[in-house]
Amino acid sequence: MLRQALLAASHSGAARRIVETAPGTRGFVRRFVAGESIDDALRVTADIAGQGLLVSLDVLGEDTHDTNRADANADHYAMLLGRLGEDGLAGSAEVSLKLSAVGQALDEDLALANARRVCAAARDAGTAVTLDAEDHETVDSTLRVLAELRRDFPDTGIAIQSYLRRSEEYCAELAHEGSRVRLCKGAYRAPESVAFTDDVEIDKSYVRCMRVLMAGQGYPMLATHDPRLIEIAGALASLHDREPSGYEYQMLYGIRPGEQRRLAREGARVRVYVAFGGEWYRYFMRRLAEKPANLGFLFRSVASR
């Protein structure tokens, strides 16, 4: 209930004004967001890479309905990728791209053209792009864009949300050689007609998808902080004789950092998803919705000002 309310508030202009201007909010936001500038993102990336972890960088900003903004967002990614290459960090960091940030809501071809520019900048820097999963209504379009991008940039990855009833089918189609699939539970609002809404069902679906990906020929990227799912991932890797280099765990910046380091110490590949930029509101609200207890920390942070 609270989760749904927080996700609804992520689309409310009034709620946005209250949250963005409340004193103390920004301090709490910094728990999940690496800062506003490319310099902030590179500093955090270097720090995480120094701990033996990998990074996926997300330039915040999504659901653009303005062509200039869509182009500017792609430019921002290209600039970031140039800096990753110059700073020698491209071996440790890829980027995550939301197609809605580069024009998907306006025109799929515009999003494809901008995503191509980002993929080309990633290739020049020596790294790759993963397409984030967004609203359920964008899935078919995102899969079409992925197929186009993979013709020229075969290492482009995609995120699949296990809450979608069709997620197992998507994973089966994507479990081929050279494919990179990030499996997550899903962080948006989705109706019962297309998505499981019960946590147990979402977890069971995650396990079914993980089985398909781990048994397949691609490179699974298991994005979860859930201890039970992490344990099952390890068991499936053993079952399918996957070397630690044959899959990776992924977690969000600011969430379970001790577990991220523990897995890396044990020899696993672990990638931290690091979001940065000024457009943090919706990303931040999704993090609150995932764990409504975070609201308590936020209120304390605001009250202590």
Active-site residues: which are they?
132, 182
From the CB of 250, what's the least distance to ligand FDA, in Å?
4
Residue 127 sits in the site that holds ligand FDA (CB under 6 A)? no
Residue 101 sits in the site that holds ligand FDA (CB under 6 A)? no
> x/- binding map, residues 176-215, to ligand FDA, per CB under 6 A?
--------xxxxx---------------------------
Find the binder of ligand FDA among 223, 263, 268, 298 (CB under 6 A). 223
From the CB of 288, what's the least distance to ligand FDA, in Å?
7
Using the minimum distance from each CB to ligand FDA, give the nearer residue, 186 or 220. Answer: 186
From the CB of 86, what's the least distance to ligand FDA, in Å?
25
Residue 159 sits in the site that holds ligand FDA (CB under 6 A)? yes
Using the minimum distance from each CB to ligand FDA, give the nearer residue, 8 or 67. Answer: 8
Find the binder of ligand FDA among 225, 240, 242, 261 (CB under 6 A). 225
Using the minimum distance from each CB to ligand FDA, give the nearer residue, 25 or 161. Answer: 161
204-239 burial, b at 16+ Cβ within 10 Å, e below that, comes to ebbeebbbbbbebebbbbbbbbeeebbebbbebbee
* Number of residues forming the site for ligand FDA (CB under 6 A): 23
d(CA 159, CA 220): 10
Find the binder of ligand FDA among 139, 149, 251, 298 (CB under 6 A). 251
Which of the ranges 14-22, 35-43, 112-120, 247-255 carries the binding residues for ligand FDA, by CB under 6 A? 247-255
Q: Cβ-count burial of 134 within 10 angstroms (0-12 exposed, 13-18 middle, 19+ buried)?
A: buried
Find the binder of ligand FDA among 59, 80, 133, 146 (CB under 6 A). 133
> CA Rg, the chain, in Å?
18
Q: Which amino acid is at 240?
A: H
User: Residues 123, 166: contact at Cβ < 8 Å?
Assistant: no
Using the minimum distance from each CB to ligand FDA, give the nearer residue, 124 or 147. Answer: 147
Residue 232 sits in the site that holds ligand FDA (CB under 6 A)? no
From the CB of 159, what's the least distance to ligand FDA, in Å?
4
Pairing of strands 270-276, 157-161: unpaired
From the CB of 248, what's the least distance to ligand FDA, in Å?
10
Find the binder of ligand FDA among 100, 250, 260, 301 (CB under 6 A). 250
Residue 294 sits in the site that holds ligand FDA (CB under 6 A)? yes
Find the binder of ligand FDA among 62, 94, 108, 132 (CB under 6 A). 132
Find the binder of ligand FDA among 9, 167, 287, 298 (CB under 6 A). 287
Positions in the binding site for ligand FDA (CB under 6 A): 132-133, 159, 161, 184-188, 223-226, 250-252, 255-256, 273, 287, 290-291, 294
